[in-house]
A = this chain, B = another copy of it.
Amino acid sequence: MRAISSISFSGQLEDKIEAAAACGFEAIEIFREDIIGFDGPPDEIGRFARDAGIAVLSLQSLRDYEGLSGAARTEALARAEKFLDLAARIGAEMLILCANTRPESHAEGALEDLRLLADMAAARGLKVGYEALASSRHIPTVAAAHAAVQAVGRKNFGLVIGTVHLFASASGSLEDALATLREIEPQKLFLVHLADTPTTRIDPALIAASFRLFPGQGTLPVAALYSQLLVQGYDGPMSIESFNDQIRSLPAARIAEDAMRAFHLLEETHTRTARPRADLRGPGLVEFTAQGGDVDDFTSLFNALGFVETHENGPVSLWSQGAITLALNTTTKGLAHSIYLVQGASVSGVGLVVEDMPLMLGRIGLFHGEAVELAEPYGFARLRGPGGSVLFLQPGRYAPGPEFHVTGAAPAQGLLTHIDHVAQALQPNLFLSGLLFYRAAFDLRAHELRDVLDPHGTVHSRTLVNDSAAFRLSLNASFGAGTTTQRFLGKSGFAPFHHIALASDDIFGLAAKLDPQDVLAIPPNYYEDLALRFDLAPDFIARLREGNLMYDRDEGGSYLQLYTRAINGFFFEVVERRGYTGMGAANAPVRMLAQLREIEAEEALHLL
């Protein structure tokens, strides 16, 4: 049973219930604090949820109950009665009890108190779910809570576990976490809370308080626990309990969609364990939308890079070189033009070559609540990605239909061979959501978060790749208003493609042919610095400098990069990989610095 906790959402309880129901959740857990904002007495919550088509799974959470003595125990018992009454009133089937964290609580009386609570709950037809807390003296671990549940020995008293806590108590070891799971009798397990964390290098209590993500957005192998639970025969509720400022700032409907997507990703990962399969083969057609002077700006840059116009179909022209096809769309109708109106000259669609199209289309319909449409005039399926960005799904390399007439022949010996990677800039609150979208929809792997120092702040970057590494996507977001990423977003909408990297097997040759006006000028001191970082021959450095090329190296080999001038913030990168596997992150701050100078020079001109 797929459930979600109301704490995963921001906003009003009514909106949370409706959003969860609309996205197909079968049950919702309700945080006590959320009842305060409900517009009606608590007794109406159960009916409201039923009307929306969702069950109330639990009331979260009774705390500091068991193992007290004297007046404190009397008070705790009275409080427990009130919580059980409230759970019954809101139509929940279960009350969550968190292990007592008060220092004065003692293990001796705890068992009797837990039995008492189970019996009080049974009298109301309710279950009690018991959850360990790292800060509890007596029940800090899942194993301790499991032992207590067994000792209590009541049918309506069971265990609640959470993935973040489970990994934390296993010191982040998957083997230990799985071993703990295997010890648990399935019928004693009432509920599993699913969440992820961005890093395991933070104090567990701090993560629990502030940094919980949806499964798939962080670094924990939540999918392995999910699989193990199914293998063990667990068929009780699993509930997404996430908590994070970045997530909470999104509307309830988006949060519910992302949470359901996280479930689908877990399920897919589980069913695929036996047969790994890459869903994408690589990037495909890239479409640009432009009007007026920007059209010439793009075509002159395409020409400079060695692209040749091969086809035309009304307002759409195709430009080819190697395995790369670019489309320049000057239409004044439809989605491409709408994108132009919103964000000016820009990438209006990126193609993804899909391995098994019928499977992909079936999955997208069933999976994410996303719909595909037909992308004219290419005949592709079109899908809207993060922030409304456009993705084309192609069954293979794009071959223009008869409605395109031939205007030229692709160059036989172009210096560019294929698309190396694509970079998308996201508004910061869409970063986690976008990451989950790409992981779930296309089964991409996410590398660890990397922070790149822009001159005016930090740009957070994560690279997503498919299994064959033929498709590489870099997602970038930044909170600083002055960073190049955020400045680009400021004029280009919510999630535009920021640059496309084209692979070359002769970047020096290309650099020699390019007009310096078309290339981003690299600060001369970069080449001084390069001599400190690497043991390079002076004349090699001189050649790099002459071509405004950048250089990096890793265990696999070396990497050469150049950047074109920007058109409305968008730019091409040209790369030559000589065994290197990274994305040139070490050079990104210098590129941002150089671009910022151009932006500021341009802005200064506008002020004149």
Q: Name A residues whose Cβ lies closer than 8 Å to a Cβ of B.
A: 10-12, 32-33, 35-39, 41-42, 75, 78-79, 82-83, 86, 199, 201-203, 205-206, 209-210, 245, 248-249, 451, 453-458, 479-482, 523-526, 528-529, 531-532, 535, 589-590, 593
Contact = CB atoms under 8 A, between A and B. Distances in A.
Nearest to A199: B206
Given A36-B523, A202-B206, A206-B201, A248 B456 contact: yes
28 contacts: A10-B456, A10-B482, A11-B455, A11-B456, A36-B525, A36-B526, A37-B523, A37-B525, A37-B593, A41-B524, A41-B525, A41-B528, A75-B535, A78-B535, A79-B532, A82-B532, A86-B532, A199-B206, A201-B202, A201-B206, A202-B202, A245-B480, A248-B480, A249-B456, A249-B457, A249-B480, A249-B481, A479-B479
A97 to B, nearest CB: 14
A479 B245 contact: yes
Nearest to A89: B528
Contact of A525 (B38, B205, B245, B529): B38
A455 B255 CA distance: 14
A604 to B, nearest CB: 14
Given A249-B457, A249-B481, A35 B529 contact: yes
Contacts of A78: 535
A32 B529 contact: yes
Contacts of A245: 457-458, 479-480
Contact of A529 (B36, B206, B590): B36
A38 B41 CA distance: 65
A209 B452 CA distance: 12
Given A36-B523, A529-B36, A479 B42 contact: no
Nearest to A460: B245
B525 A42 contact: yes
Contacts of A457: 10, 245, 248-249
Contacts of A248: 456-458, 480
A528 B11 CA distance: 20
B528 A35 contact: yes
A573 to B, nearest CB: 18
Nearest to A15: B455
Contacts of A455: 10-12, 37
Given A248-B458, A458-B245, A33 B201 contact: no
A248 B83 CA distance: 47
Nearest to A39: B523
Contacts of A525: 35-38, 41-42
Number of copies of this kind of chain in the complex? 2
A536 B205 CA distance: 31
A328 to B, nearest CB: 35
A365 to B, nearest CB: 32
Contact of A205 (B35, B201, B209, B453): B201
Contacts of A206: 199, 201-202
A205 B524 CA distance: 33
Nearest to A590: B36
Interface pairs A-B: 10 shortest CB-CB: A201-B203, A249-B480, A245-B458, A36-B525, A249-B457, A37-B593, A10-B456, A36-B526, A201-B206, A82-B532
Contacts of A524: 41
Nearest to A75: B535
The CB with the most chain B CB atoms within 10 A, among A10, A82, A83, A590, is that of A10
A210 B451 contact: yes
B42 A528 contact: yes
Contacts of A202: 201-203, 206
B249 A482 contact: yes
Nearest to A480: B249
Contacts of A589: 33
A42, A455, A479 — most chain B CB neighbours (10 Å) = A455
Contacts of A41: 524-525, 528
A75 to B, nearest CB: 6
Contacts of A36: 523, 525-526, 528-529, 590, 593
Given A455-B37, A525-B41, A32 B532 contact: yes
Contacts of A523: 36-39
Contacts of A456: 10-11, 248-249
Given A457-B248, A525-B35, A82 B531 contact: yes
Contacts of A75: 535
Nearest to A206: B201
Contacts of A480: 10, 245, 248-249
Nearest to A593: B37
Given A35-B525, A36-B526, A78-B535, 12 more contacts: A33-B589, A36-B529, A37-B593, A41-B525, A79-B535, A82-B532, A86-B532, A209-B451, A210-B458, A245-B479, A248-B456, A479-B479
A45 to B, nearest CB: 10
A249 B214 CA distance: 28
Contacts of A201: 202-203, 205-206
Nearest to A38: B525
Contacts of A79: 532, 535
A199 B207 CA distance: 13
Contacts of A451: 209-210
A41 to B, nearest CB: 7
A70 to B, nearest CB: 14
Contact of A249 (B32, B479, B535): B479
Nearest to A7: B453
Nearest to A530: B36
Nearest to A209: B451
